[in-house]
Amino acid sequence: MDNIKNKSLLSILCEPGEHALAIDNPADGSVVGYIPWQSEAEIDQCINKSCLAQKLWQKRPAKERSCLMYRWYERVMDNQADLARLMTLEQGKPLAEAMGEVAYGASFIQWFAEEGKRAYGTTIPGHTGDRRLMTIKQPVGVAAAITPWNFPIAMITRKAAPALAAGCSFIVKPANQTPLCAYAILELARQAGMPEDVLQVVVHHSPEQVGDLFTHHPVIRKLSFTGSTRVGRRLIAQSAETIKNTSMELGGDAPFIVFDDADIVQAVQGALASKFRNAGQTCVCANRFYVHDAIYDQFVSQFTEAVKSLKVGSGLEDGVQIGPLIDVQAKERIFRTINLAVEQGATIVTGGKPLDGCFVEPTVLTDVQHSMSFLREELFGPVAPIMRFTNDEELLEQANDTIYGLAAYFYSRDISRIWQVAEALDYGMVGINEGIISTELAPFGGVKQSGFGREGGQEGLEAYLETKYLCFGGIQ
Ligand code: SIN
């Protein structure tokens, strides 16, 4: 923490105590710091304040909201190095990746600062001569969000920025593992002049209690969640009582397909980027690989060599590419999966050995069959199971054989095949000859049990807007 220059980013820190939450560093198990958590009554107060603030915020011209957001964006970028260090300390990802996430997170603020000025309505040709019809866009109201630990900044700004741009107030519960980044960007929003109560962060020792409060509170009109399908299911059910507008970005099970006409060097690079980003802890990480028989050996040998050269260690060390998993439970879970895979007949080509603390060696598994049960779940760790295929039709059936539908990837140079496969994959996002597809400019989201709603792009703003229809009568 001593290396964090802007001490105002740490203003939330408190002494250890009964109402203090300890934040652990997954690289060495030390405590990064303590922050206070709020009681349920305090969170309820925050929600009510958010409601009052929203009424004033939506009256501010879109251009004024945009200017404030732009100032926030600049402050985040001015503090990129400090925010990245804080992120590495509480989340574990390598510093270079954390720098990238700060810029990625800030890009949502910048994009929606612009996009908010374009919340256009429509005029509609009337159905009688004496009427004129139009639509206007209005903010949904108070928006709440529950965000995950794997992207401590970007998953907040991807929701907060469109909400604020649309004229909603916004209240977020970050993951209890990574609240420091949330409070740091909140502090920067305040310094940029964002009115108090328009943007708030709440933390409680029990995340479930906050979920209950958010879903049952009548004042909250929108709930956006990024996390597991299991928790998403519960939040959707709970939101039914107050008929909340919800957006759900849930689990993934991304297939990564390499056809026989692919550029293998490009495919290996894409596979590495997609699989090992954040040590495999993203919802869009490649979860299972399908490689055509004709190029299987070549792909596996080049990919394995590249995986062996990945440097594992504390995210603050120079050149580290794979940081720790978020906690010991995550590491134990990944080893249970590796052991199950081996029991079911998979071969470990590299990795697979436990390292100290929360670290896991990047692992490649071959002799994997689509029918193996360990493949049915999101791995969320640095493990790459590779399968062989010969027939495109069968391959597509297997690629779509999952309850999830977030992201899929494939490599091919045949334009007909590219269109056919892109259209046939039952996923919300498809990377074609590309392993990293996330950007503020495009709609991010899934189908099936990966959720609904889109974040980023034009669609991201729509998620926080209602369309109101106006009918003007008596026009002579
Ligand atoms: C996620 O893992 O949910 C987000 C990944 C991304 O934004 O690329």
Provide mean pLDDT across the span 89-115.
98
Taking CB atoms within 8 Å and a gap of at least 24, the contacts of 313-321 are 313/359, 314/27, 314/28, 315/27, 315/88, 315/92, 315/93, 315/94, 315/95, 315/97, 315/98, 316/27, 316/85, 316/88, 316/89, 316/95, 320/94, 320/95, 321/94, 321/276
CA–CA gap between residue 399 and residue 397 (Å, rounded): 6
> Does 412 lie in the same domain as 380?
yes
**pLDDT at residue number 261:** 98
Same domain, 236 and 261: no
Please check whether residues 241 and 271 belong to one and the same domain. Answer: no
226 lines ligand 1 (CB under 6 A): yes
Which residue puts its alpha carbon closest to atom 5 of ligand 1? 282
Averaged pLDDT, 250-268:
98
Which numbered atom of ligand 1 lies nearest the CA of 436?
A: 8
Q: Best of 159, 281, 283 to mutate for ligand 1, by most ligand atoms within 8 A of CB? A: 283
Q: Classify residue 475: in a domain, yes or no.
A: no
What Cα–Cα distance (Å) separates residue 280 from each residue in 73, 92, 158, 215, 349? Answer: 28, 12, 21, 30, 18
Residue 14: both structure tokens together: 């408190």
Q: Is residue 1 part of a domain?
A: no
Whether 2 is covered by a domain: the verdict is no
- pLDDT > 70 fraction of the chain, expressed in percent and rounded: 100
| pLDDT tens-digit map of 176-229 | 999 999 999 999 999 999 999 999 999 999 999 999 999 999 999 999 999 999
What atom in ligand 1 is closest to the CA of residue 283? 2
Ligand 1 mean position, distance from CA 345 (Å): 31
Count of the separate structural domains present in the chain = 2
Domain extent, residue 62, equals 7-251+450-470
Q: Tell me: do 17 and 58 sit in the same domain.
A: yes
360 found inside a domain: yes
Residue range 246-274: average pLDDT? 98
Q: Is the CB of 151 under 6 A from ligand 1?
A: yes
User: Is the C-beta atom of 108 inside 6 A of ligand 1?
Assistant: no
- Report the greatest alpha carbon distance in the chain: 81
Alpha-carbon span 204 to 174, nearest angstrom = 10
Distance CA 188, CA 375 (A): 42
CA of 418 to the centre of ligand 1 (A): 24
Q: Provide the pLDDT for residue 306.
A: 98
79 lines ligand 1 (CB under 6 A): no
pLDDT at 174: 98
Q: Is the CB of 406 under 6 A from ligand 1?
A: no
Strands (E), 140-253: 142-146, 169-173, 199-201, 220-226, 245-249
**Residue nearest atom 7 of ligand 1, based on CA coordinates:** 438
Best residue for ligand 1 mutational test, from 278, 404, 438 (most atoms within 8 Å of Cβ): 438
**Tell me, what amino acid is at 198?**
V
Pairing of strands 254-258, 407-411: parallel
Outline where DSSP puts E strands in 155-214.
169-173, 199-201
- Let me know whether 167 and 202 are in one domain: yes
What value does the mean pLDDT take over residues 281-285? 98
Query: Is 1 a residue whose pLDDT tops 90?
Result: no
Q: Tell me how far apart the terminal alpha carbons of the chain are, to the nearest angstrom.
A: 70
Q: Classify residue 404 by burial, with Cβ atoms within 10 Å: 0-12, 13-18, 19+.
A: buried
Give the pLDDT confidence score for residue 85 in this predicted structure. Answer: 98
Domain annotation covers residue 317: yes
Confidence at residue 378, expressed as pLDDT on a 0 to 100 scale: 93
Shared-domain flag, residues 332 and 426: yes
Q: Identify the DSSP state of 240.
A: G
Specify whether 204 is located in the same domain as 94.
yes
DSSP letter at 375 equals G
Backbone angles phi, psi at 3, to 5 degrees: -80, 0
CATH number at residue 215: 3.40.605.10
Please work out whether the CB of residue 287 comes within 6 Å of at least one atom of ligand 1. Answer: no
Q: Note whether residue 476 is domain-resident.
A: no
> Which residue type sits at 381?
G
CA of 134 to the centre of ligand 1 (A): 37
CATH number at residue 302: 3.40.309.10
Cα–Cα distance for residue pair 164/71, rounded to 1 Å: 13
Indicate if 385 and 239 belong to the same structural domain: no
My answer on whether 310 and 220 are in the same domain is no
Q: What integer is the mean pLDDT of 111-126?
A: 97
248 lines ligand 1 (CB under 6 A): no
Task: Give phi and psi for 412, each to the nearest 5.
Answer: -165, 160
Let me know: does 410 contact 430? Beta carbons within 8 Å.
Answer: yes
235 and 377 belong to one structural domain? no
Rounded CA separation 260/257 (Å): 10
Residue 143 shares a structural domain with residue 259? no
How far, CA to CA in Å, does 61 sit from each of 56, 162, 198? 11, 15, 15
Position 393 scores a pLDDT of 97
Regarding the beta carbon of 157 and ligand 1, being less than 6 Å apart is answered no
Q: What span, in angstroms and rounded, lies between the C-alpha atoms of 115 and 62?
A: 10
* Ligand 1 within 6 A of CB of 247: no
289 and 213 in one domain?
no
pLDDT tens profile 56-73: 999 999 999 999 999 999
Domain membership flag for residue 163: yes
| pLDDT recorded at residue 377 | 86
Buried-exposed string 87-108: b where 16+ CB fall within 10 A, e elsewhere: bbbbbbbbbebbbbbbbbbbbb
Task: List, in sequence order, every residue forming a beta bridge with 124; answer none if it has no partner.
Answer: 133
Residue 353 pLDDT level (bands cut at 50, 70, 90): confident
Does the pLDDT of residue 2 top 90, yes or no?
no
Q: Is residue 279 part of a domain?
A: yes
Average pLDDT, the chain: 97
Summarize the confidence of residues 265-284 as an average pLDDT. Answer: 98
> Read out DSSP for 266-318?
HHHHHHHHHHHGGGG-STTSEEEEEEEGGGHHHHHHHHHHHHHTPPBS-TTST
**Statement: residue 357 has pLDDT above 90:** yes
217 C-alpha to ligand 1 centroid (Å):
28
Instruction: Give the residue, out of 101, 151, 226, with the most ligand 1 atoms within 8 A of its beta carbon, to mutate for a pocket test.
Output: 151
pTM of the complete model: 0.97
